Amino acid sequence: MPTCWTGSCSEPESYGKAALVLLPAEGQQDRSRLQSLVETAAHLGFSTVAINYVFEPTTKKKQEVPSPVPISELIGQLPVVQGRSRPIKVLNRLTVVMSEASHFRPNTTEYRAFDLLAIQPTTEKLFHTTCMLCDVDIICISVTEKLPFFFKRAPINGAIDRGVVFEVSYASALRDSTMRRYTIANAVCLMESCKGKNVIVSSAAEKALELRGPYDIINLGALFGLSDADSKEAVSSTCRAVLLHAETRKTASGIVYTRISQQDTLQDCVGSKFFHIHESDTNQH
């Protein structure tokens, strides 16, 4: 079932947010809803939208990884981002709900069709594996039930060191008081371990009215245990970092920038600082 994730790539002084909105796979009415959601996201100032496909494998039978639908078939016309002169950018995202280690297959070629790759681990062992080993961009935290495990600092620090971000959504908290307790409790538990670093806040909205503006999300971050500064990063710079991480993961390359300096005291000698491109296969392919 594809959903729509929007992340801000706006300028630092113009905060955006990450919004996750539900879209059933088939039907013209659902595509009209997606169009409305994308238009609302653009009106709120978001510059990037990703169509999210949730893949939940089972042990009973082999399931095929979904293929992304061409954007032109889902969205008639891309709206222009509020305050900008260019249309909103649309990407594809795959979220794998992992209840067994075998559910995430790093060598699967179908993964390469998606711009963003996320995992939602369901056990403590799988959470540890995802944080330390899985080559993904986003780790999703469940907000629809009480977490069956506690977060530990070591795997979270491992994910942060690798540039992976944690995602918490809020729309469920708007619909149901029980879900609201789960959302806040799980989010606070995460923030206590990650100290508010490498976190994005998404909506999981099923309709445009459930989308919230960036400043509302910043205020909501306080309930999740985020500081004001971390809340702002969760709806702006961290979202941009996710997109950069995804691009780096897909191209399997890292770029290190340094500058060339000349030592005045040494003749015909150029300083040791240089521009260097290092190719490294980070995809475990």
What is the domain range of residue 13? 2-253
User: How many independent structural domains does the chain possess?
Assistant: 1
Q: 235 Cβ partners below 8 Å, 6+ apart?
A: 8, 15, 16, 17, 18, 200, 201, 214, 217, 218, 221
pLDDT digits (tens, 9 = 90+) for 135-182: 999 999 988 888 889 999 999 999 999 999 999 988 889 988 999 999
pLDDT value of residue 29? 53
Confidence of residue 41 (pLDDT cuts 50, 70, 90): confident
> Mean pLDDT for the chain?
79
Q: Is residue 188 part of a domain?
A: yes
pLDDT at 59 over 80: no
> What is the model's pLDDT at position 272?
32
Asked whether residue 259 is domain-assigned, the answer is: no
Q: How many CB atoms lie within 10 A of CB 278?
A: 8
pLDDT, tens only, 238-248: 988 999 999 99
Is 265 among the domain residues? no
What are 182-219's pLDDT values in tens digits? 999 999 999 999 999 999 998 777 788 888 888 888 99
With bands split at pLDDT 50, 70 and 90, how would you rate the model's confidence at 10?
very low
Q: Is residue 269 part of a domain?
A: no
CATH number at residue 220: 3.20.20.140
The answer, as to whether pTM is greater than 0.85, is: no
164 in a structural domain: yes
pLDDT band at residue 51 under the 50/70/90 scheme: confident
Share of the chain above pLDDT 90, in %: 37
Structural domain includes residue 263 = no
